Structure 1
């Protein structure tokens, strides 16, 4: 699909948006808008077989995520989003790299509820910030198993008041291996299936 190739080509080399100049960002957003018009799944929330799974962020305009790269002595690693449709759960995991043996991670667990054929309401309920070594972190899957088992982790592991920490996300494009979303704060997210 030409529109999909245009988006992937436009975001290549931007390091998830960290290296994109303002003119480049505008070109990327234009390519994304064109692809959204070609969405093969007009009601993505009703396509659990496509939505469910493990996703890796390949581009975003989210300042909250991109600013993780600005922490002293830190570099933003991979960012994952794991969606479990069967229990309406979503797990966001950002890997942070810096000084040797001080690799960290920031993770947020949430529940989502369909609001329409393309919008979900997201209620955040748990935040985990810690050192990968202390958490025994070796993969997102391992961390999610610990979270789902209800384990208290060796980290800053806190409950979030989901009444105050919530938002929505419109899924504007979804196929077998690419998803685009637009959040309530105006951010755009492009993810590919892992």
Structure 2
């Protein structure tokens, strides 16, 4: 009787499921035949997962970069060891779209400075840290290049204040404007044109001195307040050498997406880490 089970017995169980029952073995092995449409669905899922994997890795690297700069006060108190770690984290992000052309549509908009090693910016932060009568608030880069193919306008914006005279951190705005041209795949050349001071917001203490709240405000005091609020000083940037272009510089945009911008001032001018910010209206 045992010989009757010497060959495998195949039992149909419905829905394409076949059970192989092997002789002298209590283990049951089941094999399910998937319908063709389910096979296609599994294949599509695997393709999506493979596509999403690099994006997930990139977001992790961006998050790691932001973590490394978190306690550096925008680069002011970064130690040499921290700068080395930040450089390594920055390079790991830069590799994701290195060599791709600059997308001016993505570049257009306002970007908030999160970190820099550029001496000309750090000197402002150092001054604010040392001088009790000077504060530096948020620093932005505003690109105006929508619908352009080869360049546009860039405005470096610094919010600053003088305590007791102006409102905290946003008492006034310094704007350095420049034209820029795309000169290679990821390099832009900046040609500075103008420096301006605008959007002066005087403190309540100063307003009280100019026009005391307990007295009727005279025409003259109101004129002074209006003048301060609308004051705008503009200084053109010119090259002292006749016949030469105005002051400029080369800027390498090493990484760009919808929410992060990384840049390097060519010639050892430092690195920059920006994140997308709400639009500025100047």
TM superposition score normalised by structure 1: 0.81
Higher relative CO (Cα under 8 Å, sequence separation at least 6) belongs to 1
The question of 1:56 aligning with 2:112 is answered yes
Separation in 2, partners of 1:30, 1:98:
37
Aligned length, in residue pairs: 174
**Residues in 1 aligned to 2:274 and 2:136: alpha-carbon distance in whole angstroms:** 16
Q: Which runs of 4+ in 1 moved over 4 A?
A: none
1:99 corresponding residue in structure 2: 163
Residue 192 of structure 1 corresponds to 275
- Point out the structure with max Rg over C-alpha: 2
Kindly state the Cα deviation for residue 44 of structure 1 after the two structures are TM-superposed: 4.3
Q: Which residue of 2 aligns with 1:70?
A: 126
Match of 1:161 among 238, 245, 259: 238
Q: Which has the higher strand share?
A: 1
Alpha-carbon distance change, 27 to 115 in structure 1, aligned in 2, over 3 angstroms: same
The 5 A counterparts of 1:72-151 are 72=131, 73-86=133-146, 88-102=152-166, 103-129=171-197, 132-133=200-201
Measure the CA separation in 2 of the matches of 1:44 and 1:74.
40
Q: Distance in 1 between matches of 2:172 and 2:126?
A: 14
Q: Displacement of 1:176 after TM fit?
A: 1.0
Measured after TM superposition, the shift of residue 80 of structure 1 is: 0.7
For residues 248 and 267 of structure 2, the distance between their equivalents in structure 1, rounded to whole angstroms, comes to 11
Task: Determine if the alignment matches structure 1 residue 24 to structure 2 residue 82.
Answer: yes
**Cα deviation per residue 1:4-52 (whole Å; 9 max; x = unaligned)?**
111111011222111211211111111111111123x74342x122111
Partner of 1:33: 91
Unaligned runs of 5+ in 1: 135-152
For the aligned residue pairs, the C-alpha RMSD in angstroms reads 2.0
In the alignment, the residues of structure 1 paired with residue 231 and residue 82 of structure 2 have an alpha-carbon distance, to the nearest angstrom, of 41
- How far does residue 101 in structure 1 lie from its aligned partner after superposition? 2.8
Aligned-partner Cα distance in 2 for 1:84–1:42: 23
Tell me which moved more, 120-129 or 86-95: 86-95
CA distance in 2, matches of 1:100, 1:89: 34
Distance 2:231 2:197 in 1: 9
Quick check: 1:44–1:173 contact (8 Å CA) kept in 2?
A: no
Q: Following TM superposition, by how much is the alpha carbon of 1:95 offset from its aligned partner in structure 2, in angstroms? A: 1.0
TM-score (normalizing by structure 2): 0.57
Q: Could you tell me whether the CA contact under 8 Å between 1:81 and 1:90 is conserved in 2?
A: yes
2:262 to 165, 180, 184: 180
Please list every run of 5 or more consecutive structure 2 residues that lacks an aligned counterpart in the other structure. 1-58, 203-229, 240-244, 278-282
